[in-house]
């Protein structure tokens, strides 16, 4: 406890004591057992809220839970005999089959029932012989049995801490005691259900001014002093305490004690504690006709019913008897029965005794008054005879559930439920377990688990047959889903309910070293001061770093919007939800992202008048693994402009405890941060990411300078506005000049002007690091990453080509707001908007374009505007020394991107075709001019001279057409074929000897010079024959 005491040192007045100083340490705990030596009670002076103190203690890492002490109510009902038609008779003994049960088992003094109530009449004629007197510690002023209680002969007054458990004016405990254990067979008064069993009176409600309620201390006392059953006829609705559940578990599991509790006297379906805790037999009541009594509690947590109307029992005076009613008197009937069952089955555990009582109860749901409350009145009405005689009963209980996505069931989730099931009584052979729910927001996709054979006190887990459920997307926020397990094995049928919170109004980003809960009320860590709503802020899965945090927006000292504590030390709750915070599917710029929307209650006078869309981003890997980005898009919801609006993050840091912290400002990184002055192993802070004027205030929550803001008397709107608007060069530090203190920090930004309906984005990073340098590195990385995320998309723009002396329009895509620069240094801005019109250009020019759609301007994209005229080209066929077919020449344009043509052919006229055909009448040289317009509208021309040597092919070959040489020749002939010879059909060159044989041949397909090699041809005289479709030419030659 050294760490806890160190945390408490700054509190001016407190008292810390071990709750159960007499308890022995439990070094080896079995599942479910509790070590009472770890429980402490703290009293402290005002000045620190319970929620704040709770957060500080939990953040120490050595405290499991912190809870206030509540005083429950005694469950009363008027002692009016007229309330029951069976005046004077203990009718309920017949209803519960007590007489038949007593024939089987009457109990004895070895079974003690602890009665934790308002006390007892030690001299009542029907009670004085039923008290379990402690003969080991008689009344002599000495603690003879050395149990820490002096002279606890009759029991103990736990509330006033003395040895007299006698009742004061409140006789409730006397009435309860008579129901449980009034003497049997003494010829007086009434008979207690426990018959021969003894009772231990423990007074738990104080009679003295300095006393205090001690119900749970009494549970420990009773369990430690030999009680086998404890009766609790008090309680209250609504509050589920981990401490109280621990005490129950200690009695039932550590000490093997049956705990029975009254289910409540409120006509409603509600949880009532301690009756609704695990391991407690919860009892509600019937009337004399086995009908549920109309004014008593019902719920799925009820285990059994017992009569609770017109219960005849011992009264206040020594020989008085009276009627009583309520679940306060149904519970002791069951407690007495539990004592008999414990005696009948001495090897049963407390849990088995409880289940034997529950499972053998009589089903009375067929009665019309009970039918509407099916499975909300427990298994049935108590039947002692069955509980004592039935030995083949079966009872399976669900003792644990695990969800595949943790305990936060979110809208749209599909998840698996793995349950552990314990068989407490007789073995099963073919056990089937079915999951169901009446919630319209849940679909059970896999509902059955076949456990089969299960031995007594053995457990089974459906790991391989997990239940699968789907949570509908439209489930309301902060819902509670009621699930039902149905158990069946032959004739055995049973049920059990459990509740699960679903679709909470927060989510936790926990994918890197920094975990942060984000709520739908503008808070981080927790939802204001509600520590049930959120997992906190934690670094490297360590202890929570933050007691309270969230967005504050101030328009003036009287108009501040936030969900931070106020001057009453309560959450301001100025925001209401527009859209719940939820994870975004497949975020584009982050590994995980979430978004929600909130709005204040404008036109209420004390709020700023804003609507806020908030987002959070996080990344898994280094160097972005130690921060979460928090982004707020703030919209002016008023009809007037904001002048100097302030938005900032409030953070009440509790790093390794609350009272040894310091806060500071880093002007280089625009970051407020905090650390523990003793350890300095974790630093945490808030960095302003937006390019806005920063504000900052480091706050000593307690004991700071009088002129500075302090939170000891609350946090008013005026203080909040002062912190939000504070210049960063003032109030930079907190922490009592390095000594350490409970500190808070406000890091914000000034928004100079915001018109009605307009929005501005303010972004922060919440960061943590191992030291200041590490934190500053994360601050730098956070800024870089955020700029990358929020940079506008890079525009897409095509290069252009224009005609000399023409302007052009640059029209980028992938955005709506662009900037156009003359240089890549952004020094010369030419224009903004959707497009830019250039001046007339005669040279190639490069422009630079950026996108400004988002928070940060995108990178520049160069745009080349090329100034070009058309590259005019054309060809014609036949060419180059053209042989026109009947004088026809085919012209064709070869100019890129041409869209129009104008040909000039001299005396042959003009043409606007792309590929005209012109007929010439005479050979000769002719000029041809082509004027082209391209797709940019640019015009240029080209003039060429063409030569027509022949008008057509020769079809009457003459010797003058061919040139053959040398003749004679030693090895080859050269043959020139003129252009007017048509070689489109092959022309054959043949060498023929004197007897007419072709000894060599060659085919040609072009005009011009060809050679014919005579290798292999014998020496002698030959004829060269040139043969084609238009003629034949022969010439003799000699081969030497």
Q: Which residues are catalytic?
A: 117, 172, 328
Instruction: Quote the CA–CA distance of 51 and 39 in Å, as a whole number.
Output: 19
Instruction: Quote the CA–CA distance of 482 and 74 in Å, as a whole number.
Output: 29
List 765's β-bridge partners, or say none. Answer: 629, 687
Q: Could you tell me the two tokens for 54?
A: 């709770």
Task: Report which of 435, 421, 655 is spatially closest to residue 537, judged by C-alpha positions.
Answer: 655
User: For strand 683-688 and strand 671-676, is the pairing parallel, antiparallel, or unpaired?
Assistant: antiparallel
Contacts of residue 183, Cβ cutoff 8 Å, sequence gap at least 6: 125, 126, 127, 129, 130, 189, 191, 192
Instruction: Quote the CA–CA distance of 172 and 440 in Å, as a whole number.
Output: 44
Q: Could you tell me the two tokens for 565?
A: 């504590």
User: For strand 642-653 and strand 743-754, is the pairing parallel, antiparallel, or unpaired?
Assistant: antiparallel
User: For strand 40-44 and strand 14-18, is the pairing parallel, antiparallel, or unpaired?
Assistant: antiparallel
Instruction: Quote the CA–CA distance of 119 and 156 in Å, as a whole number.
Output: 9
Contact indicator for 1026, 1033 with CB cutoff of 8 Å: yes
Instruction: Quote the CA–CA distance of 527 and 505 in Å, as a whole number.
Output: 8
Strand ranges (E), 492-626: 492-502, 506-509, 514-519, 537-539, 546-556, 559-561, 575-583, 592-600, 610-618
- 707 class by beta-carbon count within 10 Å (0-12 exposed, 13-18 middle, 19+ buried): exposed
Output DSSP code: residue 247: H
CA quadruple 80, 86, 89, 94: dihedral sign: negative
* Peptide bond before residue 966 is cis, with ω within 30 degrees of 0: yes
Q: DSSP readout, 498-526?
A: EEEEES-SEEEE-SSSEEEEEETTSBBSS
Angle, nearest 10°, between helix axes 350-359 and 327-344? 110
Residue with tokens 């409603």: 268
Torsion angles phi and psi, residue 960, rounded to 5: -75, -15
Instruction: Quote the CA–CA distance of 94 and 695 in Å, as a whole number.
Output: 78
* Peptide bond before residue 321 is cis, with ω within 30 degrees of 0: no
C-alpha distances in Å from residue 439, one per residue of 442, 471, 623: 6, 10, 45
Instruction: Quote the CA–CA distance of 421 and 427 in Å, as a whole number.
Output: 13
Note the Cα 227 to chain centre separation in Å: 46
Residue with tokens 């499991």: 64
Instruction: Quote the CA–CA distance of 771 and 675 in Å, as a whole number.
Output: 9
Burial 1003-1029 (b: 16+ CB within 10 A, else e): ebeebeeeebebeebeeeebebbbebe
Largest CA distance in the chain: 167
Angle, nearest 10°, between helix axes 327-344 and 172-181? 30
Instruction: Quote the CA–CA distance of 684 and 663 in Å, as a whole number.
Output: 10
Instruction: Quote the CA–CA distance of 879 and 889 in Å, as a whole number.
Output: 9
- 679 class by beta-carbon count within 10 Å (0-12 exposed, 13-18 middle, 19+ buried): exposed
Q: What angle do CA 754, 698, 625 make, to 5 degrees?
A: 80
């Amino acid at each position: 406890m050294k760490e806890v005491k160190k945390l408490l040192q700054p509190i001016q007045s407190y008292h810390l004591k071990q709750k159960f100083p007499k308890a022995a340490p439990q070094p080896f705990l079995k599942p479910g057992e509790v070590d009472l030596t770890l429980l402490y009670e703290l009293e402290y002076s005002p000045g620190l809220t319970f929620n704040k103190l709770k957060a500080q203690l939990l953040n120490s890492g050595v405290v499991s839970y912190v809870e206030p002490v509540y005083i429950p109510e005694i469950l009363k009902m008027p002692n009016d005999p007229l309330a029951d038609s069976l005046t004077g008779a203990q009718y309920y003994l017949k209803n519960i089959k007590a007489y038949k049960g007593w024939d089987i088992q009457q109990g004895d003094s070895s079974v003690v029932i602890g009665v934790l109530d308002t006390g007892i009449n030690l001299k009542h004629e029907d009670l004085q012989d039923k008290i379990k007197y402690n003969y080991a510690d008689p009344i002599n002023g000495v603690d003879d049995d050395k149990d820490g209680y002096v002279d606890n002969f009759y029991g103990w007054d736990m509330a006033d801490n003395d040895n007299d458990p006698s009742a004061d004016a409140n006789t409730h405990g006397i009435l309860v005691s008579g129901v449980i254990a009034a003497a049997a067979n003494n010829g007086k008064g009434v008979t207690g259900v426990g018959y021969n069993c003894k009772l231990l009176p423990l007074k738990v409600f104080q009679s003295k001014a300095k006393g205090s309620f001690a119900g749970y201390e009494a549970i420990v006392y009773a369990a430690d002093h030999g009680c086998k059953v404890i009766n609790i006829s008090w309680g209250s609705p609504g509050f589920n305490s981990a401490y109280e559940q621990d005490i129950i578990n200690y009695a039932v599991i550590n000490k093997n004690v049956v705990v029975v509790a009254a289910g409540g006297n409120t006509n409603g379906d509600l949880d009532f504690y301690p009756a609704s805790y695990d391991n407690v037999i919860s009892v509600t009541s019937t009337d004399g006709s086995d009908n549920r009594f109309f004014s008593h509690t019902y719920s799925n947590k009820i285990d059994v019913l017992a009569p609770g109307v017109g219960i005849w029992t011992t009264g206040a005076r020594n020989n008085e008897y009276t009627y009583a009613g309520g679940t306060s008197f149904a519970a002791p009937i069951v407690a007495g029965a539990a004592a008999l069952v414990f005696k009948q089955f001495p090897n049963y555990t407390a849990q088995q005794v409880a289940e034997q009582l529950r499972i053998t109860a009589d089903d009375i749901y067929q009665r019309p008054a009970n039918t509407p409350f099916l499975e909300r009145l427990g298994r049935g009405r108590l039947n002692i005879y069955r509980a004592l005689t039935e030995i083949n009963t079966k009872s399976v209980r669900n003792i644990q559930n695990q969800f595949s996505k943790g305990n936060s069931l979110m809208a749209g989730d599909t998840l698996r439920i793995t349950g552990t099931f314990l068989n407490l009584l007789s073995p099963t052979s073919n056990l089937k377990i079915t999951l169901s729910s009446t919630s319209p927001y849940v679909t059970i996709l896999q509902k059955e688990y076949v456990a089969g054979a299960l031995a007594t006190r053995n457990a089974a887990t459906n790991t391989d047959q997990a239940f699968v459920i789907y949570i509908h997307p439209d489930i309301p926020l902060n819902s509670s889903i009621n699930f039902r397990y149905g158990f069946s094995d032959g004739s055995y049928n049973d049920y059990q309910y459990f509740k699960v919170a679903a679709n909470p109004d927060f989510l936790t980003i926990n994918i890197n070293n920094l975990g942060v809960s984000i709520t739908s009320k503008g808070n981080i860590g927790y939802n204001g001061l509600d520590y049930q709503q959120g997992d906190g802020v934690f670094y490297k899965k360590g202890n929570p770093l933050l007691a309270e945090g969230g967005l504050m927006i101030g328009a003036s000292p009287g108009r501040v919007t936030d969900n931070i504590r106020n001057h009453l030390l309560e959450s301001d709750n100025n925001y209401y939800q527009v859209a719940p915070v939820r994870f975004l599917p497949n975020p584009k710029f982050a590994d995980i992202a979430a978004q929600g929307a909130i709005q204040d209650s404008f036109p209420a006078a004390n709020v700023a008048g804003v609507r806020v869309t908030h987002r959070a981003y996080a990344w898994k890997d280094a160097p972005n693994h130690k921060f979460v980005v928090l982004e707020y898009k703030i919209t002016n919801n008023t009809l007037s402009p904001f002048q100097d609006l302030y938005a900032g993050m409030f953070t009440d840091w509790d790093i390794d405890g609350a009272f040894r912290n310091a806060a500071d400002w880093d002007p280089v990184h625009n970051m407020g941060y905090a650390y523990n002055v003793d350890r300095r192993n974790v630093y945490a802070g808030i960095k302003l990411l937006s390019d806005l004027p920063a504000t900052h205030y480091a706050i000593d929550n307690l004991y700071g300078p009088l002129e500075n803001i302090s939170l000891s008397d609350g946090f008013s709107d005026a203080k909040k506005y002062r912190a939000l608007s504070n210049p960063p060069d003032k109030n930079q530090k907190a922490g009592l000049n390095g000594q350490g203190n409970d500190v808070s920090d406000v890091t914000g930004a000034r928004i100079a002007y915001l018109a009605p309906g307009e929005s501005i984005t303010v972004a922060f990073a919440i960061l943590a690091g191992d030291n200041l340098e590490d934190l500053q590195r994360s601050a730098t990385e956070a800024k870089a990453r955020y700029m990358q995320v929020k940079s506008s998309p890079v525009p897409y723009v095509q290069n252009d080509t224009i005609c000399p002396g023409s302007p052009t329009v640059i029209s980028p895509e992938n955005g709506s707001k662009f900037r156009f620069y003359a240089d890549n240094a952004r020094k010369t801005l030419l224009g903004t908007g959707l497009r830019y019109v250039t001046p007339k250009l005669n040279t190639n020019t490069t422009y630079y374009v950026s996108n400004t759609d988002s928070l940060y301007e995108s990178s520049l994209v160069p745009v080349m505007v090329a100034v070009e005229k058309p590259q005019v080209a054309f060809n014609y066929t036949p060419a180059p020394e053209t042989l026109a077919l009947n004088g026809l020449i085919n012209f064709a344009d070869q100019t890129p991107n041409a869209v129009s043509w104008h040909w000039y052919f001299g005396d042959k006229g003009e043409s606007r075709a792309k590929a005209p055909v012109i007929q010439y009448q005479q050979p000769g040289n002719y000029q041809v001019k082509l004027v082209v317009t391209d797709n940019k509208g640019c015009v240029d021309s080209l003039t060429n001279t063409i030569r027509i040597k022949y008008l057509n092919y020769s079809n009457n070959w003459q010797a003058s057409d061919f040139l053959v040489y040398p003749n004679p020749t030693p090895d080859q002939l050269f043959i020139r074929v003129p252009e007017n010879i048509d070689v489109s059909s092959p022309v054959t060159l043949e060498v023929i000897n004197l007897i007419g044989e072709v000894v060599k041949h060659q085919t040609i397909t072009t005009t011009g010079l060809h050679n014919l090699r005579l290798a292999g041809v014998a020496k002698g005289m030959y004829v060269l024959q040139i043969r084609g479709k238009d003629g034949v030419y022969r010439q003799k030659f000699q081969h030497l």
